[in-house]
Amino acid sequence: MGIQSPKQPSSYDSISKEMLHDHQKGEAAVTVSDSYSEWQAKHPSALEVFERMIAAAKGKKIVMFLDYDGTLSPIVEDPNKAVMSDAMRSAVQEVARYFPTAIVSGRCIDKVNGFVQLKNVVYAGSHGMDISTPYGSLKHQNHRHATRAVDEQGNEVVLFQPAAEFLPTIQEIIQVLEEKVKNIKGAMVEDNKFCISVHFRRVKEEDVNSIEEIVNSTVKAFPEFRISEGKKVFEVKPRINWDKGRALEYLLETFGFNNSNDFLPMYIGDDNTDEDAFNVIQRIGRGYPIIVSALPRETKASFSLRDPDEVMSFLLRLAKWKKMLH
Protein backbone atom coordinates (compact mmCIF):
# COMPACT_ATOMS: atom_id res chain seq x y z
CA MET A 1 0.00 0.00 0.00
CA GLY A 2 1.27 3.45 -0.85
CA ILE A 3 0.41 5.11 2.44
CA GLN A 4 -0.43 3.58 5.76
CA SER A 5 -3.97 2.28 5.40
CA PRO A 6 -6.27 2.26 8.39
CA LYS A 7 -7.14 -0.98 10.16
CA GLN A 8 -9.83 -2.85 8.25
CA PRO A 9 -13.14 -4.04 9.68
CA SER A 10 -14.15 -7.71 9.70
CA SER A 11 -14.23 -9.77 6.51
CA TYR A 12 -16.64 -8.86 3.74
CA ASP A 13 -17.67 -12.51 3.35
CA SER A 14 -18.97 -12.63 6.88
CA ILE A 15 -21.45 -9.85 6.19
CA SER A 16 -22.94 -11.05 2.95
CA LYS A 17 -25.77 -13.07 4.59
CA GLU A 18 -26.82 -10.06 6.58
CA MET A 19 -26.92 -8.04 3.37
CA LEU A 20 -29.52 -10.28 1.79
CA HIS A 21 -32.04 -9.12 4.36
CA ASP A 22 -31.21 -5.48 4.30
CA HIS A 23 -33.18 -4.42 1.25
CA GLN A 24 -35.89 -2.78 3.32
CA LYS A 25 -33.31 -0.26 4.40
CA GLY A 26 -32.72 0.13 0.73
CA GLU A 27 -29.10 -0.03 -0.18
CA ALA A 28 -28.11 -3.64 0.56
CA ALA A 29 -25.00 -2.63 2.39
CA VAL A 30 -24.30 -3.29 6.03
CA THR A 31 -24.37 0.05 7.71
CA VAL A 32 -22.32 0.42 10.86
CA SER A 33 -23.20 2.25 14.03
CA ASP A 34 -20.29 4.69 13.83
CA SER A 35 -21.08 8.30 13.07
CA TYR A 36 -19.82 9.44 9.66
CA SER A 37 -16.84 11.17 11.21
CA GLU A 38 -15.92 8.08 13.29
CA TRP A 39 -16.19 5.96 10.14
CA GLN A 40 -14.19 8.49 8.14
CA ALA A 41 -11.41 8.27 10.67
CA LYS A 42 -11.06 4.60 9.60
CA HIS A 43 -11.65 5.34 5.90
CA PRO A 44 -10.23 8.83 5.37
CA SER A 45 -11.60 11.05 2.65
CA ALA A 46 -9.42 10.64 -0.46
CA LEU A 47 -9.76 14.40 -0.93
CA GLU A 48 -8.48 15.17 2.54
CA VAL A 49 -5.47 12.83 2.28
CA PHE A 50 -4.87 13.64 -1.39
CA GLU A 51 -1.42 15.16 -0.88
CA ARG A 52 -0.24 12.11 1.09
CA MET A 53 -1.71 9.76 -1.50
CA ILE A 54 0.09 11.37 -4.41
CA ALA A 55 3.34 11.73 -2.49
CA ALA A 56 3.28 7.95 -2.00
CA ALA A 57 2.32 7.44 -5.66
CA LYS A 58 5.35 9.31 -6.97
CA GLY A 59 7.33 7.22 -9.46
CA LYS A 60 4.53 4.63 -9.65
CA LYS A 61 2.17 4.10 -12.56
CA ILE A 62 -1.36 4.77 -11.43
CA VAL A 63 -3.99 2.56 -13.05
CA MET A 64 -7.53 3.85 -12.60
CA PHE A 65 -10.61 1.64 -12.20
CA LEU A 66 -14.03 3.27 -11.98
CA ASP A 67 -17.41 1.77 -11.24
CA TYR A 68 -20.32 3.46 -13.05
CA ASP A 69 -23.65 3.66 -11.16
CA GLY A 70 -23.37 5.56 -7.90
CA THR A 71 -19.76 6.49 -8.71
CA LEU A 72 -19.77 8.34 -12.04
CA SER A 73 -23.52 8.93 -12.07
CA PRO A 74 -25.84 9.50 -9.14
CA ILE A 75 -28.32 6.77 -8.20
CA VAL A 76 -31.68 7.63 -9.81
CA GLU A 77 -35.12 6.02 -9.85
CA ASP A 78 -35.03 4.84 -13.46
CA PRO A 79 -31.94 2.77 -14.38
CA ASN A 80 -32.30 3.88 -18.00
CA LYS A 81 -31.87 7.50 -16.97
CA ALA A 82 -28.62 7.18 -15.03
CA VAL A 83 -26.79 9.52 -17.36
CA MET A 84 -23.36 10.88 -16.66
CA SER A 85 -22.92 14.66 -16.65
CA ASP A 86 -20.72 16.31 -19.28
CA ALA A 87 -18.55 17.63 -16.46
CA MET A 88 -17.97 14.09 -15.15
CA ARG A 89 -17.28 12.87 -18.68
CA SER A 90 -14.53 15.47 -19.13
CA ALA A 91 -13.06 14.61 -15.73
CA VAL A 92 -12.85 10.90 -16.67
CA GLN A 93 -11.47 11.80 -20.09
CA GLU A 94 -8.81 13.95 -18.46
CA VAL A 95 -7.78 11.20 -16.02
CA ALA A 96 -7.65 8.68 -18.89
CA ARG A 97 -5.25 10.99 -20.78
CA TYR A 98 -2.67 10.39 -18.07
CA PHE A 99 -3.45 6.95 -16.64
CA PRO A 100 -4.71 3.66 -18.10
CA THR A 101 -8.39 3.76 -17.14
CA ALA A 102 -11.11 1.11 -17.04
CA ILE A 103 -14.81 1.42 -16.33
CA VAL A 104 -15.97 -1.70 -14.48
CA SER A 105 -19.75 -1.95 -14.29
CA GLY A 106 -22.61 -4.33 -13.61
CA ARG A 107 -24.29 -2.99 -16.72
CA CYS A 108 -23.81 -4.67 -20.08
CA ILE A 109 -20.93 -3.17 -22.02
CA ASP A 110 -23.10 -1.51 -24.68
CA LYS A 111 -25.15 0.33 -22.08
CA VAL A 112 -22.21 1.61 -20.07
CA ASN A 113 -20.41 2.57 -23.26
CA GLY A 114 -23.53 4.47 -24.33
CA PHE A 115 -23.55 6.44 -21.07
CA VAL A 116 -19.80 7.12 -20.86
CA GLN A 117 -19.06 7.66 -24.57
CA LEU A 118 -15.30 7.87 -24.18
CA LYS A 119 -12.79 6.25 -26.49
CA ASN A 120 -9.74 6.51 -24.25
CA VAL A 121 -11.02 4.09 -21.58
CA VAL A 122 -11.58 0.34 -21.63
CA TYR A 123 -14.89 -1.18 -20.62
CA ALA A 124 -15.67 -4.18 -18.44
CA GLY A 125 -19.40 -4.88 -18.30
CA SER A 126 -21.61 -7.50 -16.59
CA HIS A 127 -19.62 -7.21 -13.34
CA GLY A 128 -16.39 -7.96 -15.20
CA MET A 129 -17.76 -10.92 -17.20
CA ASP A 130 -17.52 -8.98 -20.48
CA ILE A 131 -14.23 -7.17 -21.04
CA SER A 132 -13.35 -5.45 -24.30
CA THR A 133 -9.79 -4.25 -24.82
CA PRO A 134 -8.15 -2.90 -27.98
CA TYR A 135 -6.20 -5.48 -29.95
CA GLY A 136 -2.57 -4.68 -30.73
CA SER A 137 -1.65 -2.01 -28.19
CA LEU A 138 -2.04 -4.08 -25.00
CA LYS A 139 -0.36 -7.19 -23.60
CA HIS A 140 -2.90 -9.94 -24.13
CA GLN A 141 -1.96 -13.37 -22.84
CA ASN A 142 -3.51 -16.58 -24.08
CA HIS A 143 -6.72 -16.81 -22.11
CA ARG A 144 -9.24 -19.56 -22.61
CA HIS A 145 -12.16 -17.15 -22.72
CA ALA A 146 -10.55 -14.47 -24.88
CA THR A 147 -11.36 -14.08 -28.57
CA ARG A 148 -10.49 -11.52 -31.23
CA ALA A 149 -13.42 -9.60 -32.63
CA VAL A 150 -14.42 -6.37 -34.36
CA ASP A 151 -16.59 -4.06 -32.25
CA GLU A 152 -19.55 -1.95 -33.41
CA GLN A 153 -17.25 0.93 -34.34
CA GLY A 154 -15.12 -1.37 -36.52
CA ASN A 155 -12.18 -1.54 -34.07
CA GLU A 156 -10.26 -4.76 -33.56
CA VAL A 157 -10.68 -5.84 -29.96
CA VAL A 158 -10.07 -8.78 -27.65
CA LEU A 159 -13.25 -9.89 -25.89
CA PHE A 160 -12.89 -11.72 -22.62
CA GLN A 161 -16.18 -13.46 -21.83
CA PRO A 162 -15.86 -16.22 -19.23
CA ALA A 163 -19.63 -16.74 -19.03
CA ALA A 164 -20.34 -17.00 -22.76
CA GLU A 165 -21.72 -20.54 -22.48
CA PHE A 166 -24.53 -19.27 -20.22
CA LEU A 167 -26.03 -16.82 -22.73
CA PRO A 168 -28.94 -19.04 -23.88
CA THR A 169 -29.90 -19.90 -20.27
CA ILE A 170 -29.71 -16.23 -19.27
CA GLN A 171 -32.26 -15.40 -21.98
CA GLU A 172 -34.46 -18.25 -20.73
CA ILE A 173 -34.30 -16.91 -17.15
CA ILE A 174 -35.06 -13.37 -18.33
CA GLN A 175 -38.24 -14.60 -20.04
CA VAL A 176 -39.39 -16.44 -16.92
CA LEU A 177 -38.64 -13.45 -14.66
CA GLU A 178 -40.34 -10.95 -16.96
CA GLU A 179 -43.46 -13.06 -17.10
CA LYS A 180 -43.54 -13.49 -13.31
CA VAL A 181 -42.96 -9.84 -12.34
CA LYS A 182 -45.13 -8.29 -15.04
CA ASN A 183 -48.01 -7.61 -12.65
CA ILE A 184 -45.87 -6.07 -9.92
CA LYS A 185 -45.94 -2.33 -10.44
CA GLY A 186 -42.49 -0.77 -10.69
CA ALA A 187 -40.56 -4.06 -11.07
CA MET A 188 -38.08 -4.14 -13.89
CA VAL A 189 -35.89 -6.88 -15.34
CA GLU A 190 -32.73 -5.52 -16.93
CA ASP A 191 -30.80 -7.65 -19.41
CA ASN A 192 -27.12 -7.05 -18.69
CA LYS A 193 -26.00 -9.73 -21.16
CA PHE A 194 -24.07 -12.01 -18.78
CA CYS A 195 -26.17 -11.19 -15.73
CA ILE A 196 -29.69 -10.08 -14.96
CA SER A 197 -30.78 -7.23 -12.70
CA VAL A 198 -34.24 -7.37 -11.14
CA HIS A 199 -34.93 -3.85 -9.91
CA PHE A 200 -37.30 -3.01 -7.06
CA ARG A 201 -36.46 0.67 -6.43
CA ARG A 202 -39.88 1.71 -7.76
CA VAL A 203 -41.79 -1.18 -6.19
CA LYS A 204 -44.06 -0.62 -3.17
CA GLU A 205 -42.48 -1.79 0.08
CA GLU A 206 -45.16 -4.46 0.56
CA ASP A 207 -44.32 -6.02 -2.85
CA VAL A 208 -40.58 -6.34 -2.33
CA ASN A 209 -40.88 -9.76 -0.65
CA SER A 210 -42.87 -11.07 -3.63
CA ILE A 211 -40.04 -9.98 -5.93
CA GLU A 212 -37.50 -11.69 -3.71
CA GLU A 213 -39.59 -14.88 -3.69
CA ILE A 214 -39.95 -14.79 -7.48
CA VAL A 215 -36.21 -14.38 -7.95
CA ASN A 216 -35.41 -17.13 -5.42
CA SER A 217 -37.90 -19.64 -6.81
CA THR A 218 -36.90 -18.94 -10.43
CA VAL A 219 -33.18 -19.26 -9.82
CA LYS A 220 -33.70 -22.46 -7.79
CA ALA A 221 -34.49 -24.20 -11.08
CA PHE A 222 -31.12 -23.08 -12.48
CA PRO A 223 -28.52 -24.33 -9.97
CA GLU A 224 -25.64 -23.01 -12.07
CA PHE A 225 -26.82 -19.48 -11.23
CA ARG A 226 -26.65 -17.44 -8.02
CA ILE A 227 -28.31 -14.33 -6.61
CA SER A 228 -26.67 -11.34 -5.00
CA GLU A 229 -28.13 -8.05 -3.88
CA GLY A 230 -27.17 -4.52 -4.82
CA LYS A 231 -28.85 -1.17 -4.39
CA LYS A 232 -32.56 -2.06 -4.54
CA VAL A 233 -31.77 -4.74 -7.08
CA PHE A 234 -31.41 -8.52 -7.11
CA GLU A 235 -28.72 -9.68 -9.46
CA VAL A 236 -28.71 -13.11 -11.07
CA LYS A 237 -25.32 -14.30 -12.28
CA PRO A 238 -23.71 -17.52 -13.52
CA ARG A 239 -22.01 -19.35 -10.68
CA ILE A 240 -18.47 -18.91 -12.01
CA ASN A 241 -15.32 -17.88 -10.24
CA TRP A 242 -15.27 -14.41 -11.75
CA ASP A 243 -16.10 -10.98 -10.36
CA LYS A 244 -14.92 -7.35 -10.46
CA GLY A 245 -11.80 -8.35 -8.50
CA ARG A 246 -10.82 -10.96 -11.09
CA ALA A 247 -11.57 -8.39 -13.80
CA LEU A 248 -9.18 -5.95 -12.12
CA GLU A 249 -6.45 -8.63 -12.12
CA TYR A 250 -7.12 -9.47 -15.78
CA LEU A 251 -6.95 -5.79 -16.75
CA LEU A 252 -3.75 -5.15 -14.78
CA GLU A 253 -2.17 -8.04 -16.65
CA THR A 254 -3.52 -6.78 -20.00
CA PHE A 255 -2.21 -3.27 -19.28
CA GLY A 256 1.19 -4.98 -18.82
CA PHE A 257 1.63 -4.73 -15.07
CA ASN A 258 1.80 -8.43 -14.13
CA ASN A 259 5.58 -8.56 -13.88
CA SER A 260 6.20 -5.09 -12.57
CA ASN A 261 6.23 -3.64 -9.13
CA ASP A 262 5.87 0.02 -9.95
CA PHE A 263 2.13 0.18 -10.55
CA LEU A 264 -0.57 1.46 -8.25
CA PRO A 265 -4.20 0.53 -8.87
CA MET A 266 -6.90 2.93 -7.71
CA TYR A 267 -10.42 1.55 -7.63
CA ILE A 268 -13.39 3.80 -6.92
CA GLY A 269 -16.79 2.17 -6.39
CA ASP A 270 -19.92 2.33 -4.28
CA ASP A 271 -21.53 -1.10 -4.36
CA ASN A 272 -21.19 -4.57 -2.84
CA THR A 273 -19.69 -5.97 -6.04
CA ASP A 274 -16.89 -3.39 -5.83
CA GLU A 275 -15.81 -5.00 -2.56
CA ASP A 276 -14.34 -7.89 -4.60
CA ALA A 277 -12.00 -5.40 -6.27
CA PHE A 278 -11.17 -3.71 -2.94
CA ASN A 279 -10.30 -7.18 -1.62
CA VAL A 280 -7.88 -7.84 -4.48
CA ILE A 281 -6.13 -4.50 -3.89
CA GLN A 282 -5.82 -5.33 -0.18
CA ARG A 283 -4.49 -8.80 -1.05
CA ILE A 284 -1.85 -7.61 -3.51
CA GLY A 285 -0.86 -5.02 -0.93
CA ARG A 286 -0.59 -2.03 -3.22
CA GLY A 287 -3.03 0.59 -4.42
CA TYR A 288 -5.92 2.67 -3.18
CA PRO A 289 -9.38 1.14 -2.75
CA ILE A 290 -11.87 4.01 -2.41
CA ILE A 291 -15.52 3.59 -1.44
CA VAL A 292 -18.18 6.08 -2.45
CA SER A 293 -20.64 6.34 0.40
CA ALA A 294 -22.54 9.03 2.25
CA LEU A 295 -23.26 6.54 5.06
CA PRO A 296 -20.88 4.64 7.32
CA ARG A 297 -20.77 1.02 6.09
CA GLU A 298 -18.75 -2.16 6.23
CA THR A 299 -16.11 -2.10 3.54
CA LYS A 300 -12.69 -3.35 2.57
CA ALA A 301 -11.88 0.06 1.11
CA SER A 302 -9.21 2.09 2.85
CA PHE A 303 -10.43 5.50 1.70
CA SER A 304 -13.74 7.17 1.00
CA LEU A 305 -15.54 9.79 -1.05
CA ARG A 306 -19.06 10.89 -0.26
CA ASP A 307 -20.73 10.98 -3.67
CA PRO A 308 -20.12 11.33 -7.44
CA ASP A 309 -19.42 15.07 -7.00
CA GLU A 310 -16.52 14.25 -4.72
CA VAL A 311 -15.40 11.55 -7.18
CA MET A 312 -15.28 14.22 -9.90
CA SER A 313 -13.25 16.60 -7.70
CA PHE A 314 -10.82 13.78 -6.91
CA LEU A 315 -10.40 12.83 -10.59
CA LEU A 316 -9.84 16.45 -11.62
CA ARG A 317 -7.28 16.96 -8.89
CA LEU A 318 -5.43 13.81 -9.88
CA ALA A 319 -5.30 14.82 -13.56
CA LYS A 320 -4.18 18.34 -12.63
CA TRP A 321 -1.38 16.98 -10.46
CA LYS A 322 -0.14 14.70 -13.26
CA LYS A 323 -0.38 17.50 -15.83
CA MET A 324 1.79 19.72 -13.64
CA LEU A 325 4.45 16.99 -13.42
CA HIS A 326 4.73 16.84 -17.24
Ligand X SMILES: O=P(O)(O)OC[C@H]1O[C@H](O[C@H]2O[C@H](CO)[C@@H](O)[C@H](O)[C@H]2O)[C@H](O)[C@@H](O)[C@@H]1O
Q: Using the rule CB under 6 A, which residue among 43, 193, 231, 246 binds ligand X?
A: 231
Nearest residue (CB) to ligand X, 70 versus 289: 70
- The least distance separating ligand X from the CB of residue 219, rounded to whole angstroms, comes to 16
Per 3-state DSSP, what percentage of the chain is helix, strand, and coil (rounded to 5)? 40, 20, 40
Q: Residue number with the shortest CB distance to ligand X?
A: 106
Cβ–Cβ < 8 Å for 112, 103: yes
- The least distance separating ligand X from the CB of residue 180, rounded to whole angstroms, comes to 18
Nearest residue (CB) to ligand X, 257 versus 267: 267
What is the C-alpha radius of gyration for the chain, rounded to an integer number of angstroms? 19
By CB under 6 A, the count of residues binding ligand X is: 24
Tell me the per-residue interface mask from 76 to 115 with ligand X, x by CB under 6 A, - otherwise.
xx-x--x----------------------xxx--------
123: CB partners within 8 A, 6+ apart:
102, 103, 105, 109, 112, 113, 116, 131, 132
| Strands 156-160, 146-150: pairing kind | antiparallel
What whole-number distance in Å separates Cα of residue 250 and Cα of residue 37? 35
State yes or no: residue 75 binds ligand X (CB under 6 A): yes
- Region binding ligand X by CB under 6 A among candidate stretches 72-80, 92-100, 139-147, 179-187: 72-80
What whole-number distance in Å separates Cα of residue 148 and Cα of residue 21? 42
State yes or no: residue 287 binds ligand X (CB under 6 A): no
Tell me the per-residue interface mask from 126 to 145 with ligand X, x by CB under 6 A, - otherwise.
--------------------
168-173's contacts with Cβ under 8 Å and 24+ in sequence apart are 169/222, 169/224, 169/225, 170/194, 170/195, 170/196, 170/238, 173/218, 173/219, 173/222, 173/225, 173/236
- Helix ranges, 134-243 (H): 167-181, 208-220
Nearest residue (CB) to ligand X, 30 versus 57: 30
215-221's contacts with Cβ under 8 Å and 24+ in sequence apart are 215/177, 218/173, 218/176, 218/177, 218/180, 219/173
Q: From 107, 73, 77, select the one nearest 87 (Cα to Cα).
A: 73
Residues 189-218 that bind ligand X (CB under 6 A): 190, 192, 197, 199, 201
Q: Using the rule CB under 6 A, which residue among 29, 208, 233, 251 binds ligand X?
A: 233
Nearest residue (CB) to ligand X, 140 versus 267: 267
Residues 288-307 that bind ligand X (CB under 6 A): none
- The least distance separating ligand X from the CB of residue 277, rounded to whole angstroms, comes to 10
Tell me the per-residue interface mask from 234 to 253 with ligand X, x by CB under 6 A, - otherwise.
-x------------------
What whole-number distance in Å separates Cα of residue 26 and Cα of residue 17? 15
Q: Using the rule CB under 6 A, which residue among 271, 275, 276, 298 binds ligand X?
A: 271
CA angle 308, 313, 318 (to 5 degrees): 120
- The least distance separating ligand X from the CB of residue 47, rounded to whole angstroms, comes to 21
- The least distance separating ligand X from the CB of residue 152, rounded to whole angstroms, comes to 20
State yes or no: residue 186 binds ligand X (CB under 6 A): no
Judged by the rule CB under 6 A, the positions of this chain that interact with ligand X are 67-70, 75-77, 79, 82, 105-107, 190, 192, 197, 199, 201, 230-233, 235, 271, 273
